[in-house]
Amino acid sequence: MEPTTAPAISIRSLTKRYGAREVVSKLSFDVHPGRVTGFLGPNGAGKTTTLRMLLGLARPTSGSASFGHLAYADLPDPGKLVGASIAADAFHPGRTARDHLRVYAPAVGAAERRIDELLGFLGIADAAQRRVGEFSTGMRQRLSLATALLGDPQVLILDEPTNGLDPEGIAWLREFLRAYAARGRAVLVSSHMLLEVQQSVDDVVVIARGTLIHASSLADLSAMAVATVRVAGPDMAGLRDLATRRGWTIVGGSHRAASELELRGIGAAAVGKAAFDAGIELHELVENRPSLEDVFLQMVSAAEPDSHVGVGQVPS
Ligand SMILES: Nc1ncnc2c1ncn2[C@@H]1O[C@H](COP(=O)(O)OP(=O)(O)OP(=O)(O)O)[C@@H](O)[C@H]1O
């Protein structure tokens, strides 16, 4: 279902320059209530910088980032409207988990009961009296999420929340995010891997080098994962003719051997039947459906040709 509500977050032409480097460039996208939006991009793409500008922790060079029509600094009760966990969250290492939450609780009017509830909910009740300095990355991640949830916010912003979580924690987070959005809340969650959040998100915003490269629903992104069929045999000229007559798309590639062909937008069964009917001998018929992660990585590598991320071979 496409959103019909007013956006909870609006990013408009947001730009951040550090010295001569533009790390976020004219970025625009919306985040809607009742939906989980995945904010995706490789390391260094500008995700954290964008979130920091949204939360008033960094000043935009130009453009705006707002909640409704208000910047974070102008919100009447920001702690109650917005809860955030940012990657570089600082914890006082000598403080216990409970004391950490006690420091933040007054700003959002959270009582001791809410702290207990969250420690239990995040599975760190047993560690409530332990110093945060002794916490694993996953436990810090849970404590950071507990802090973001203190005020039961309408808008939840999480920067790389899966970092350091074990598979069980990731599965838990997935369910939690879905349930949170189902209560009509807006959730913006950043990640450098679509795979880690794809079961949680409704919408995807992909950036690379600070620039927007894709924004759509997850369903529309899925539609871009078009299957291809690789065919090999002794009569590829005949198959080429057949493909042209049938209006199938032949995928280019001069590196391809003369004995093979790749077709897009048609299934293996249909190709096999048409070739059989035309008396064309086939030796191979392989359907390849790219995963969502493949589509994401291809987008990113097209925008960052020298990126080390994802596709390609292990360097030798
Ligand atoms: N205070 C700063 N001064 C100068 N450059 C900065 C500053 N903060 C971030 N950058 C640079 O901006 C770019 C974007 O960084 P950012 O942390 O926003 O990326 P990211 O998408 O969150 O990446 P990651 O997944 O690695 O956290 C990086 O090249 C980073 O070095």
pLDDT at 253: 58
pTM of the model: 0.85
- Binned at pLDDT 50, 70 and 90, residue 4 comes out as low
What is the residue with the minimal CA distance to atom 11 of ligand 1? 23
Instruction: Give the pLDDT score at 180.
Output: 95
Specify the ligand 1 atom closest to the Cα of 46. Answer: 18
CA gap 129, 126 in Å, rounded: 8
The owner of tokens 């320059």 is 17
Specify the 3-state DSSP secondary structure of 26. Answer: strand
pLDDT, mean of residues 96-104: 91
**Other CB atoms closer than 10 Å to residue 69's CB: what's the count?**
9
The average pLDDT across 98-116 equals 91
Nearest CA to ligand 1 atom 28: 44
Minimum CA distance residue for ligand 1 atom 26: 43
* Rounded Cα–Cα distance for residues 130 and 133 (Å): 8
Q: Residue 311 pLDDT > 50, yes or no?
A: no
Is pLDDT of 79 > 90? no
HSE-up (13 A, CA, CB side) for residue 90: 1
**CB of 87 sitting under 6 A from ligand 1:** yes
Sheet of strand 9-18: strand arrangement:
21-31, 9-18, 62-67
Atom of ligand 1 nearest to the CA of 49: 18
pLDDT confidence tier of residue 310, bands split at 50, 70 and 90: very low
Express each pLDDT in 21-70 by its tens digit.
Answer: 999 999 999 999 999 999 999 989 999 999 999 999 999 999 999 998 89
- For 289, the token pair is 């459906």
Cβ of residue 18 lying under 6 Å from some atom of ligand 1: yes
Ordered strands of the 260-264 beta sheet = 249-250, 260-264, 228-232, 284-288
CA–centroid distance, 209 to ligand 1, in Å, is 10
The tens digit of pLDDT for each residue in 152-198 reads 999 999 999 998 888 888 998 999 999 999 999 999 999 998 988 98
pLDDT value for 308: 52
CA of 145 relative to ligand 1 center, distance in Å: 22
Tokens of 217: 């629903």
DSSP helix/strand/coil, 128: coil
pLDDT band at 87 (very low <50, low <70, confident <90, very high): low
If you ran DSSP here, which 8-state letter would residue 7 be given?
A: P
Q: What confidence score (pLDDT) does residue 24 get?
A: 97
User: Is the shortest distance between the CB of 307 and ligand 1 below 6 Å?
Assistant: no
Percent of all residues in the chain with a pLDDT value above 90, rounded to a whole number: 62
Q: Is 209 in the pocket of ligand 1 (CB under 6 A)?
A: no
Ligand 1 center from residue 138 Cα (angstroms): 22
Give the residue whose CA is nearest to atom 18 of ligand 1: 46
Ligand 1 atom at minimum distance from 207 CA: 21
Tell me, using a 6 A CB cutoff, whether residue 35 lines ligand 1: no
CATH of domain 9-222: 3.40.50.300
- Give residue 3's pLDDT: 59
| Nearest residue (CA) to ligand 1, atom 13 | 44
pLDDT tens per residue, range 246-264: 999 998 755 566 788 999 8
Q: Where in the chain is the domain with CATH 3.40.50.300?
A: 9-222
CATH class of 228-288: alpha beta
| Region 203-207 average pLDDT | 97
How many angstroms separate the alpha carbon of residue 9 from the centre of ligand 1? Answer: 21
**With a 6 A CB cut-off, is 42 part of the ligand 1 pocket?**
no
Across the chain, what does the average pLDDT equal?
A: 89
Distance between Cα 48 and ligand 1 center (Å): 7
Confidence of residue 114 (pLDDT cuts 50, 70, 90): very high
Amino acid at 75: L
pLDDT over threshold 70, residue 316: no
Say how many Å lie between the CA of residue 208 and the centre of ligand 1: 12
